Amino acid sequence: MNRVITGAHYGLKDWLAQRITAVLMIAYTGLLIVLTIIYQPESYEDFKALFSIQWIKIASLLFFTGLCWHAWVGVRNVLMDYAHPMAIRLTLQVTCIVALLGYLIWFLDILWG
């Protein structure tokens, strides 16, 4: 008996993306805790100096990109499960994508602006 699997095959990729981005976010949070303990920033200027270091900016960008991807996979899966009319689902998905891209651009402006 040959079993033919059809469909979008999102399951494994989504599961893996969620786990990888979750590990990335946990690692960044741990790094931020360690940096806060080491540098002990107490003012806005101290935090600004900490986040002016290039590798911290890159790590922050990776974190926020992972956060957006993690959010997109979760929201898309929820919408696929609960928003059955195609027009409503597509509208909500496009709205989510536009919002997440806007947040990412805003984050880049804050980080490198």
pLDDT profile of the chain (113 residues), mean per 10: 59 90 97 96 94 96 97 94 94 97 97 90
1 located within any domain: no
Q: Rounded to whole angstroms, how far apart are CA atoms 107 and 95?
A: 18
Give 63-92 pLDDT, tens digit per residue.
999 999 999 999 999 999 999 999 999 999
Q: Supply 89's token pair.
A: 């689902």
Model confidence, pTM: 0.85
- Confidence (pLDDT) at 78: 94
The answer to the question of residue 81 being in a domain is yes
> Does 2 fall in a domain?
no
Task: Report yes or no on 27 lying in a domain.
Answer: yes
Residue 65: the pLDDT is 97
- Provide the domain limits for residue 78: 10-112
Number of domains in the chain: 1
Does residue 5 fall inside a structural domain?
Answer: no
| Integer angstrom CA distances of residue 112 from 5, 61, 62, 69, 82 | 46, 10, 14, 21, 38
CATH number at residue 40: 1.20.1300.10
**Please, what is the average pLDDT of the chain?**
92
